[in-house]
A and B are shown apart, each in its own frame.
Chain A
């Protein structure tokens, strides 16, 4: 049994939640960030499921990929674009912490531009690779195009978040008690992280093992 009496616990709790404490509490801006982290967790699991499928097929296949692996040029450029956009977003976050809203909005606009560049590059990469293998041709084609299209869809969601963040207050306010800039940037970092993950798992290994 605890040496502290129930009465003492009761008094301690009431002190922690006294009128003075409650009246001086700030507004809660964290629920959106918690929600974003949990949403990111669920999305990461989609990619882990896709990568599991990739590995499962690779493990059971006679040769993998069955035909020529996609070239690495465009994926390298995309990796650079996404990492650069993350650097810009982080700089924008620090600028916002110092009160510079304009710089933060510019950072969001650059992120949006990076997303557009990504889509243009990815479409170009697909068109090149479709002449080698189509998704209907074999399971490598199926999983390859699926993984990268799902990732592209996530980047489109990120771009929509940029548009939204450009239109609303970037920091918590009474009418918008969430960290619009921070949560958006968080999502974009996740999207870049999953790009690097699928780049390292799908794009690179066939060039090492061939």
Chain B
């Protein structure tokens, strides 16, 4: 068998042309994954600039750098950008890139839907940021409580931008979730039974289920807000049988699972990284999987802990407090599994591991501050004080940003084919770690001293100025650390040493492909006999008759959900312009709704329907999914 000829044939089938048309029509999960990560990092930078602006305003008492309305807009955009448009999609991007490679499939189950999810995500973020040049930014935080966000108290288009862009965003996330679930349960390589699946696949599955259920609740909440603001509906008006707390109930039922969605795949990535750099398999694989799934499941039962100060009955709030404390058990199981893995292994302090250790320490602190606020009396003292942003950022930066950097140092060699510079990575890490703690630890002290959050300034003479100044300095040090890593990524991806397929001597399937991987993944669909395909003696691509090459069309193997026994051959679609067109059509609908032009909205919907038909139309060559 002529490997070069086969490889050329497969490349011809799977590769997208290197021109503008190829860029707009590609459905290659590797390209889309890199786009997701790049776009999410762009939003991270924008949100970071917003944070640095806020910190200038708060560096000293009674500053007038930003007036109150502008400050509100900046902190709203900071929170919304970071929580929605950075934290979720960056992890989606890693999963989109990695999951097919890790499970031995040639692409996701529905590649065109994958492309559509990316375009919708990009356009939803652009849609939100159109509010910046037209000076109509939302100003009610990332949580948008009513009645402040009703038209009467928030005139202008700010909250409309917010609500509509979020509904637009949920389409991306839900479509992506459906795609992940079908991919993971249908296209695992033969032999990759459930108990041999990488942990990142379990995390992705869990958050996909969470997404499907929770995002729809956000759609309901934002729809109610839009109907109230545009058409005078009365969902939240207590004088007309409505209830302002209804917003909070619907929003937090979505938003609490959302914080697990931005957390669990990061822990999944850590569960891939720590074993490799401890030179041994993870301890307690089954427990880590169970902890992940249970965190997601019990995460549906704790949302009221964001509403402890609303005056609900003690009985119901106590239930939610208990559930919130229970969730910490599952995270603790994961932490102990990682610690045991390191203890029983031989730790290698390469850059990914250094960031993973940073994650571990920050997440433990953040998690502990969370369990404290799960206690009702403690929460009543500290709700809406600076304790809460301290907790939030320890868990979000600790358990999302640090794992993302660990993941970037770990997988950029695979994506770019070149190693990142280790010394620069260490410099960046310490700047980020010291800067972060200098910024957010004093926030806990401020919270305990009673400084309220979401304020544009504070009076002098309360003893808060030195801590606020330290926080601002720390934030800038953290930002410099982030910048150092970005420079490292950019320069090393052009001039770093060649990485080869498996520079870390890792165990999972993505490391058996070239760096960067060929467009078709691996030459033969592999067979799997253990959890650690590259560490065991089984030869994954042993295929003497070449039956698992599947080079007649774009094909991959479908297997059973539990035991991954081959059951069918799946035809995969060719590249298509329709995912992009449909995403543009939806952007048109969103714009028409924003401007309250219902005839234009109806027209845009009709255009979308035509594009959807076009997408699904049986073509002469490939398939439509």
Asked whether A53 is an interface residue with its Cβ less than 8 Å from the other chain, the reply is: yes
> A202–B209 Cα gap in the complex (Å)?
28
The answer to whether B568 touches A25, judged by C-beta atoms less than 8 angstroms apart, is yes
Tell me whether B294 is interfacial, beta carbon within 8 Å: no
**Interface presence of A21 (CB below 8 A):** yes
Bound state CA distance, A80 and B242, in angstroms?
A: 33
Known: A28-B570, A46-B219. A13 touches B190 (CB 8 A): yes
A136 in contact with B619 (CB, 8 Å): no
Which one of B273-281, B355-363, B452-460, B523-531 is at the interface?
A: B523-531
**In the bound complex, do residue B234 and residue A136 qualify as a contact, i.e. CB atoms below 8 Å apart?**
yes
Q: Does A120 make an interface contact (CB < 8 A)?
A: no
Contacts of B178 in A (CB 8 A): 35, 38-39, 42
**Chain A residues with Cβ under 8 A from B231's Cβ?**
135-136
A-B contacts, CB under 8 A, total: 203
Which residues of B527-558 have CB atoms within 8 Å of chain A's CB atoms?
A: 527-530, 536-539, 542-548, 550, 557-558
A44 CA to B547 CA in the complex, in Å?
A: 42
| Residues A173 and B246 in contact, CB atoms below 8 Å apart | no
Given known A175-B619, A178-B625, contact A27–B182 (CB-CB < 8 A): no
The residues of A that contact B113 with a CB separation of less than 8 Å are: 35
B233 contacts A by Cβ under 8 Å: yes
Which residues in window 97-153 of A have CB below 8 A to B?
Answer: 135-143, 146
B216 touches which of A45, A140, A169, A173 (Cβ 8 Å)? A45
In the complex, chain A residues whose CB is within 8 Å of the CB of B174:
42
Contact A45 B529 (CB under 8 A): no
Interface residues of B in 126-166 (CB under 8 A from A): none
Do A31 and B548 touch across chains, with their CB atoms under 8 A apart? no
B326 within 8 A of A: no
Residues on B with beta carbons closer than 8 Å to the beta carbon of A168: 616-618
Q: How large is the interface on A (under 10, 10 to 19, 20 to 34, 35 or more residues)?
A: 35 or more
**Residue-by-residue, is B212-232 near A (CB-CB < 8 Å gives 1, otherwise 0)?**
110111011101100110011
Report the nearest B residue to A138, measured CB to CB.
Answer: B240
Q: Given A14-B542, A34-B186, A45-B213, verify A139-B569 contact (CB < 8 Å).
A: no
Whole-angstrom CA separation of A34 from B560 in the bound complex: 13
Cβ < 8 Å to B, chain A residues 1-40: 6-7, 9-10, 13-14, 16-23, 25-32, 34-35, 38-39
Q: Does A164 contact B (CB under 8 A)?
A: yes
Q: How many residues of B contact A (CB 8 A)?
A: 75
Stretch at the interface among A58-66, A88-96, A185-193: A58-66
Instruction: Tell me the bound Cα distance from A64 to B609 in angstroms.
Output: 39
The residue that B625 contacts in the complex, of A32, A50, A53, with Cβ under 8 A, is: A32
Chain A residue at smallest Cβ distance from B565: A16
A57 on the B face (CB < 8 A) = yes
Decide yes or no whether B35 CB sits under 8 A from chain A: no
A208 within 8 A of B: no
A17 in contact with B109 (CB, 8 Å) = no
Q: Does B65 sit at the interface, judged by CB under 8 A?
A: no
Which of A31, A52, A135, A173 has a CB less than 8 Å from the CB of B109? A31
A42 to chain B, nearest CB (A): 5
Q: Please determine whether B234 and A38 come into contact, CB atoms closer than 8 angstroms.
A: no
Contact A38 B182 (CB under 8 A): yes
Say yes or no: A175 contacts B618, CB within 8 Å. Answer: yes
User: In the bound complex, how far is the Cα of B574 from the Cα of A175, in angstroms?
Assistant: 11
Point out the residues of chain A lying under 8 angstroms from B542, CB to CB. 14
A60 to B245, CA, bound (A): 10
B600 at the interface (CB under 8 A from A): no
| B625 close to A45 (CB less than 8 A) | no
Q: Which A residues touch B529, using CB under 8 A?
A: 6, 9-10, 13
Cβ–Cβ contact A16 & B241, under 8 A: no
Q: Out of A21, A23, A35, A141, which one reaches B182, CB within 8 Å?
A: A35
Q: Can you sample 8 A-B contacts with CB below 8 Å?
A: A6-B536, A28-B186, A43-B216, A60-B241, A168-B618, A175-B619, A175-B623, A176-B624
* Apart from A22-B548, A66-B241, 7 more pairs, CB < 8 Å: A10-B539, A19-B545, A26-B568, A53-B250, A137-B240, A142-B233, A176-B624
Residues of A within 8 A of B (CB): 6-7, 9-10, 13-14, 16-23, 25-32, 34-35, 38-39, 41-43, 45-46, 49-50, 52-53, 56-57, 60-62, 64, 66, 135-143, 146, 160, 164, 168-169, 173-178
| 6 A-B pairs with the lowest CB-CB distances in the bound complex, closest first | A13-B191, A19-B547, A28-B568, A139-B242, A17-B190, A49-B220
